[in-house]
Structure 1
Amino acid sequence: MKNTTLLRAALLINSAFSALSALLMLLWTDTIANLLGLSTHGLLLLVSAGLLLFTADLLHQALQPRLASWRALYASMADLLWVVLSVLLTVVFYSAIPTAGIVLVISIAGFVLLFALLQLYGIRQLHLNPATGLYRHCLVVRTQAPARQLWPVIADLGSISRFVPMLAHSEVLNDLPAAQGAVRRCTNQKGQSWSELCTDWQEGTSFSLRFLTDEPGFPFPASVMLGGWSVQSTDQGSEVTIWWELMPKPAWMAPVMLPMLAFGADKDFPGVIAKMAVASQEQLEEPISQFRARLLPRLC
């Protein structure tokens, strides 16, 4: 998930256009107010202030080493809302707005629509894994717990519900050992269940899973869904990588579904790893008393 160029460019262009629009509203307030048929300047000043805040947010997004696609999604939704409101205003107040003002509003809405579409396509490209054709989200969390102590907790497939808030229950079917071929059954807090087949197992370092999407009642809108965990040692402890790859159903929903997945995962899994780190110390004579788990600003 390293194709960030398009999304960064779209966010930067959008921020530049928003800043320019705000500055023009502030510098040529009277002219623009006359074009739009406004008798007061209050609305223009309010819109320009909002645009400057929007500009700052877009710039902050674009300059991050790890782009947060969920933030780009809400920026795109804000752009689309601008377009809808622009069209509605020109329709409702058609007789009150001079022709030049209508042309101005619709022209700006056209540019904003273009930015929204570019950002959505950039989100798609950000998550697309060209090697598999699936859409990927991945995160890396750093903690002080040594990898050799953390691995047994991560590798205990049936105990994942102890650490993930959305899960009410988890188990490995048929009491099989955690290894390739094992099937984990998970149930969330809503009572929805699904199964995950372990397709690869590297003792001490990683495992991969395939969600059994063809099973009746599979709760996620994906025709293919994979995932995996890995842990590696660092000088300060360990780094845990968690990833998912999926084909949304329908596929065109990828620019919406992947940011939603990313938002939840980025919010919840540092806490999950912190709980696992605490659990990794339970049998030690001198356990580490406190753990921090930090999401790293790294693409993977």
Structure 2
Amino acid sequence: MSTTTTARTFIGLNAAFSALTGLELIIFPFAVAHLMFSDPAGWTTLALRLLGVGLVLFALDLLLMATNRFVTKGEVMLIILADIGWLIASAALVLLTGYLFSDAGLLMIGIVAAFVAVFAAGQYVGAGRIVAPQSRVSIRSKNGKLSASVRRVVAAPAETAWEVMTDHPGYADVAGNISKVEVLAGEGIGMTRRCFGPKGENWTETCNQFQEGRSYGFRIHTEAPDYPYPISDLQGRWSVEPKGPGSEFSIDIEAKPKGGFLSRALFASVARRQFKSILVDLADAWAKRMEHEART
């Protein structure tokens, strides 16, 4: 189970509660104003509606975090600070302007604050359980291309890591988006292999760089009729080098999405999280296999 599960669960609950509260304020500001305030003035309806909009936007931000497997401890702590700010503001409203509210209004403020306090406490516990992934991922966009890389130090010699990395049929066992790999012809530069997706879609890849024991690269033939991703050009490089008693391997991917500016911008925003998830899972699975091979 991911170390971010607890934090993301409470962030998700926080998002749902914020969204429901915000929508209620947007849709029924007049009714809420007459319920909360002793003598509702004209500004109260507008204030409640603006608060509702803010809560919905806050909920959308929380939803993105709740679905991010790699949410950081710092990001969770920022949400906790926002919740604490809400609690402080609620207390200030009651102490300084409590006379403006009805008994029902004061009760509503207290109930909402109680929920926020529970979310803050759960998020704090969850933040304490987050462990940063050992696989270090970097993703950036430049000149219409998306570049992604992952690096991982393993307790295995470079020779062992290289053997695992060049086990092409075994690549399907560690890559979550590939179900089968078969070598079609050759070895080294010019070698071709065929990769199959989870639904049987397939494409070929050609080795375009090779340095024995150090690195190799492939150009992926994205022009295949059933290639499943909106990418016009895709290349990858896999490398390993000694590091202390073990080694460090890396995967570098460069992708050019299909379409115009809007398509590329959308691809860059959506693909960042997908690339990170795929690369971390692949690096973790490879590291586990490399270290197992080194022990046997």
Please give the alpha-carbon distance, in whole angstroms, between the structure 2 residues aligned to 1:280 and 1:148.
Answer: 10
Normalising by structure 1, what TM-score? 0.51
Report the equivalent of 1:270. 280
Amino acid at match of 1:205: R
Instruction: Report the alpha carbon displacement of residue 152 of structure 1 after superposing the two structures with TM.
Output: 0.9
1:28-177, aligned counterparts within 5 Å? 39=45, 41-49=47-55, 126-128=140-142, 134-174=145-185, 176-177=186-187
Please give the alpha-carbon distance, in whole angstroms, between the structure 2 residues aligned to 1:262 and 1:126.
Answer: 8
Amino acid at match of 1:43: R
Describe the superposition over 1:148-197 as per-residue Cα deviations: whole angstroms up to 9, x where unpaired.
221111122232101112211111103x33x1111110001111101110
Instruction: Report the alpha carbon displacement of residue 283 of structure 1 after superposing the two structures with TM.
Output: 4.9
CA contact (8 A) 1:136 1:244 kept: yes
Relative to structure 1, the CA distance from residue 147 to residue 53 in structure 2 (aligned partners, 3 Å threshold; closer, same or farther) is farther
Relative to structure 1, the CA distance from residue 240 to residue 281 in structure 2 (aligned partners, 3 Å threshold; closer, same or farther) is closer
Describe the superposition over 1:49-75 as per-residue Cα deviations: whole angstroms up to 9, x where unpaired.
5667889999xxxxx9xxxxxxxxxxx
Please give the alpha-carbon distance, in whole angstroms, between the structure 2 residues aligned to 1:55 and 1:166.
Answer: 28
- SS of match in other structure, 2:147: strand
Describe the superposition over 1:14-47 as per-residue Cα deviations: whole angstroms up to 9, x where unpaired.
xxxxxxxxxxxxxxxxxxx999x76364333343
Relative to structure 1, the CA distance from residue 220 to residue 160 in structure 2 (aligned partners, 3 Å threshold; closer, same or farther) is same
Please give the alpha-carbon distance, in whole angstroms, between the structure 2 residues aligned to 1:188 and 1:155.
Answer: 19
Aligned pair count?
185
- SS of match in other structure, 2:170: helix
Please give the alpha-carbon distance, in whole angstroms, between the structure 2 residues aligned to 1:34 and 1:155.
Answer: 73
Please give the alpha-carbon distance, in whole angstroms, between the structure 2 residues aligned to 1:34 and 1:235.
Answer: 71
Relative to structure 1, the CA distance from residue 46 to residue 198 in structure 2 (aligned partners, 3 Å threshold; closer, same or farther) is same
2:236 pairs, out of 227, 231, 234, with 227
Relative to structure 1, the CA distance from residue 143 to residue 261 in structure 2 (aligned partners, 3 Å threshold; closer, same or farther) is farther
Please give the alpha-carbon distance, in whole angstroms, between the structure 2 residues aligned to 1:283 and 1:227.
Answer: 24
- SS of match in other structure, 2:271: helix
Amino acid at match of 1:151: W
Describe the superposition over 1:83-131 as per-residue Cα deviations: whole angstroms up to 9, x where unpaired.
xxxxxxxxxxxxxxxxxxxxxxxxxxxxxxxxxxxxxxxxxx9411x5x
CA contact (8 A) 2:160 2:293 kept: no
Relative to structure 1, the CA distance from residue 222 to residue 210 in structure 2 (aligned partners, 3 Å threshold; closer, same or farther) is same
Report the equivalent of 1:242. 251
Report the equivalent of 2:200. 191
Task: Flag the structure with more relative contact order, 1 or 2, with Cα contacts below 8 A and sequence separation at least 6.
Answer: 1
Describe the superposition over 1:210-237 as per-residue Cα deviations: whole angstroms up to 9, x where unpaired.
1113333333222222112122232373
CA contact (8 A) 1:194 1:218 kept: yes
Relative to structure 1, the CA distance from residue 57 to residue 34 in structure 2 (aligned partners, 3 Å threshold; closer, same or farther) is farther
Report the equivalent of 1:260. 270
Report the equivalent of 2:217. 208
For the aligned residue pairs, the C-alpha RMSD in angstroms reads 3.6
Please give the alpha-carbon distance, in whole angstroms, between the structure 2 residues aligned to 1:274 and 1:163.
Answer: 9
Range with bigger deviation, 204-213 or 237-246: 237-246
Please give the alpha-carbon distance, in whole angstroms, between the structure 2 residues aligned to 1:275 and 1:264.
Answer: 17
Runs of 4+ in 1 over 6 A off after TM superposition: 52-58
- SS of match in other structure, 2:156: coil
